[in-house]
């Protein structure tokens, strides 16, 4: 069972203690809320960043009392800011640098675009922070089979040894792979 716990904008607002955390991050509109709802088997648990008036927060969900699922704000969102030089804000950076219990960060990319420059900056940042991460190529329902194979190969060779999961919320693909990867990383000490 996945239940909402809390929202906040800094680490201080978030639950204390040693509970393991699994984070999800991606460019705004990449389909992160749909993916979290897909994992939860609930339609309205996570809210889309494209909903008007929605404030940007870090949202924490409890999964079976085993771990916290951390829904980080979409990056590349701030209107009026130039894409160049804008990586992600202090809320995201502060969380990723400061969280002690982070077992895995899923970076969600749009399968049709491949990793954008912002995605690559995020992946480099995670590498520099020595945080464990995996890539979810999302919306793969939009790709042909041969495109899927090519993208998976490109990502696996580009990011040596990294788990790459092909996922679609609309065609319900890849949910088992995401959950299996979470189980694997929950057991790891890093
Ligand atoms: P968020 O801003 O990252 O939380 O993205 P949303 O979950 O709100 O989705 C953004 C848009 O992408 C919406 O129009 C969704 O209907 C669409 N979308 C989400 N997941 C998928 C998917 O797996 N396949 C396709 N084709 N579209 C999707």
What residue ranges do the domains of the chain occupy?
2-187
- Averaged pLDDT, 121-132: 92
Terminal CA-CA length for the chain: 26
Question: What pLDDT, in 10s, does the model give residues 40-57?
Answer: 999 889 988 777 777 789
Distance between CA 2 and CA 45 in Å, rounded? 9
Question: What pLDDT, in 10s, does the model give residues 11-48?
Answer: 888 888 899 999 999 998 999 999 999 999 998 899 88
Predicted pLDDT at 77: 53
User: What 3-state class would DSSP assign to 107?
Assistant: strand
Ligand 1 centre to CA of 184 (Å) is 26
Number of H helices, E strands in the chain: 5, 7
User: Between residues 79 and 168, which one has the greater pLDDT?
Assistant: 168
Atom of ligand 1 nearest to the CA of 167: 23
Atom of ligand 1 nearest to the CA of 27: 3
Type and span of the H or E element at 134: strand 133-138
Predicted pLDDT at 87: 54
Question: What pLDDT, in 10s, does the model give residues 78-106?
Answer: 544 444 444 567 788 889 999 999 999 99
Q: Which of 34, 38, 73, 177 to mutate to test the pocket of ligand 1 (most atoms within 8 A of CB)?
A: 34
Alpha helices in the chain (DSSP H): 32-40, 90-98, 117-128, 145-158, 175-186
Spell out the residues 6+ positions from residue 44 whose beta carbon is closer than 8 angstroms to its own: 37
User: Between residues 148 and 159, which one has the greater pLDDT?
Assistant: 148
Q: Which residues surround ligand 1 with Cβ inside 6 Å?
A: 26, 28-34, 48-50, 74, 138-139, 141-142, 168-170
Alpha helices in 30-109 (DSSP H): 32-40, 90-98
The structure's pTM equals 0.93
Choose the CATH number for 2-187 among 3.30.750.24, 3.90.1640.10, 3.40.640.10, 3.40.50.300. Answer: 3.40.50.300
């Amino acid at each position: 069972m996945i239940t909402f716990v809390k929202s906040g904008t800094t680490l201080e607002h978030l639950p204390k203690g040693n509970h393991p955390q699994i984070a999800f991050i991606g460019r705004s509109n990449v389909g992160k809320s749909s993916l979290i709802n897909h994992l939860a088997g609930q339609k309205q648990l996570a809210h889309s960043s494209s909903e008007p008036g929605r404030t940007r927060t870090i949202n924490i969900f409890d999964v079976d009392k085993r771990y916290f699922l951390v829904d980080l704000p979409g990056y590349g969102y701030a209107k009026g800011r130039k894409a160049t030089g804008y990586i992600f804000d202090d809320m995201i950076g502060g969380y990723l640098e400061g969280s002690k219990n982070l077992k895995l960060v899923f970076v969600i990319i749009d399968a049709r675009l491949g990793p954008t420059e912002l995605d690559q900056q995020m992946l480099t940042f995670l590498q520099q922070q020595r945080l464990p991460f995996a890539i979810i190529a999302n919306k793969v329902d939009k790709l042909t089979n041969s495109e899927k194979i090519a993208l998976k190969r490109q990502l696996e060779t580009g990011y040596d040894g990294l788990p790459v999961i092909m996922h679609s919320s609309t065609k319900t693909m890849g949910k088992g792979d995401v959950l299996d990867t979470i189980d694997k990383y929950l057991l790891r000490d890093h």
